[in-house]
Chains A and B, each alone.
Chain A
């Protein structure tokens, strides 16, 4: 499968624990996005990387959240001191400018449940 991959697919953790998710984008894509999706809602933008540079962070991304893309390839999203409100699907997407549009291709997501 040459699409966007995410690991793990599911994570159950206790409140207060730290969790880290990984995203591997499509190999030639230089742009990488993280979104959060809660039940019955559309994905909400969290943060964006162009190559290794993190260029925008949403107000949704509290100081407990940190994301990295150290070599401009895979990315990690870490949540420290998890809270029950962090329970959601975390989606990663990547894109490459083509024909003047920015089509984003999504990974399967990591579903987080905080108990």
Chain B
């Protein structure tokens, strides 16, 4: 069935360093890949997304890359700050039917000051 694997499950970085989170999806029909940030006790918030016709997208310190052949996509955060500490989820969906999201299991990012 549809599946999204996400690694690592936890990630600690020093403030100012970069963080990379990787996801792999199984459904070749997937063509939209959002990333959500969830702080403790709060709702998931969209931080960046990418469509399958684009290989990379950047928004200030955040970037996402997509390799459709390998079914991999990654989140890159540069110049990390303590407020980047949160759980990050990747998701995949296809432009058909319900557009339901299949989420990864999450990465807990801790930025050490």
Contact = CB atoms under 8 A, between A and B. Distances in A.
Interface of A: 4, 31, 33, 35, 40-45, 48, 55-56, 91, 95, 100-109
Contact of A101 (B32, B42, B44): B32
Interface residues on B, range: 20 to 34
Contact of A43 (B44, B95, B99): B44
A108 B104 contact: no
Given A41-B106, A43-B103, A108-B43, A48 B49 contact: no
B104 A42 contact: yes
- Going nearest first, the 8 A-B pairs with the smallest beta carbon separation are A42-B103, A102-B99, A48-B98, A45-B100, A106-B43, A56-B98, A108-B43, A106-B44
A91 B105 contact: no
Main DSSP-derived SS at the A contact region: strand
A95 B71 CA distance: 25
Nearest to B4: A42
B1 to A, nearest CB: 10
Nearest to B1: A59
